[in-house]
Amino acid sequence: MSFYDSLLEQTSNERHYLLGAPIIQQAMRGQVSLPSYLAFLTEAYHHVKHTVPLLMACGARLPERLEWLREAIAEYIEEEYGHQEWILNDIRACDGDAEAVRRGTPRLATELMVSYVYDRIARHNPVSFFGMVQVLEGTSIALATQAAGIIQEQLQLPAQAFSYLTSHGSLDLEHIELLKTLMNRLDDPADQAAVVHTAKVVYRLYGDIFRSLPLAGEE
């Protein structure tokens, strides 16, 4: 079994915890509300704005034996730069206050997820970052495009309100293929264990972000 397949197998319980979040189940049934969608976009902004800084932190700490991975990180940075601004544009298209979101603070679950990954990079193993990549991009391709269609249909919002979800659904399909290739080149058991452990924890923390969002009808 390849390491990437093993990663998926070892994190299946944590993935189910994330996908079982009530707001995700509700959205897939077509029960959505504008406050819930805006709350989702707000938390997305507060973790997506850290994607490039986390990539930089990871790349700076990689050992020379993983120079090939640092090269991939340089490409990731170029592709991911500025995506938080897409989210703010989506918020504006929903008549939300994007600048208030920019100036605001995240929910505790979001702050803990971001802080955890910074800590794993700085204090444990920089390769840990790719556990977070697996969670966010794997979840995106599983849900993003489908969720965008359901939410748009139910709330009658313009297409401009879904640039984050729709672009990441397709973009992350490409990224997952790259991630598979990169992870299958990791041959050090300590690196592999760091990725698995981080993915397990981030699935839980990302699931907690979704569980912190207001459900439709409960805003």
Residue 171 has pLDDT above 70, yes or no: no
Q: Please tell me which residue, 217 or 190, carries the higher pLDDT value.
A: 190
What is residue 36's predicted lDDT score, i.e. its pLDDT? 94
Query: Across the chain, what does the average pLDDT equal?
Result: 92
pLDDT in tens, 60-104: 999 999 999 999 999 889 888 888 999 999 999 999 999 999 999
C-alpha angle 38-41-42 in degrees, rounded to nearest 5: 85
**Cα–Cα distance between 214 and 35 in angstroms, integer?**
8
pLDDT in tens, 121-168: 999 999 999 999 999 988 877 677 788 888 888 899 998 898 888 876
pTM of the model: 0.92
> Which CATH fold topology does 3-212 show?
Heme Oxygenase; Chain A (1.20.910)
- Domain boundary assignment for the chain: 3-212
**Cα–Cα distance between 51 and 137 in angstroms, integer?**
12
What is residue 219's predicted lDDT score, i.e. its pLDDT? 59
With contact defined as beta carbons under 8 Å apart, do 192 and 125 qualify? no
- Mean pLDDT (whole number) for 177-193: 94
With contact defined as beta carbons under 8 Å apart, do 174 and 141 qualify? no
What is residue 122's predicted lDDT score, i.e. its pLDDT? 97
What is residue 166's predicted lDDT score, i.e. its pLDDT? 82
Helix or strand or coil: residue 157?
A: coil
Buried b (16+ CB within 10 A) or exposed e, 143-168: bbbebbebbbebeebeeebbbbbbbb
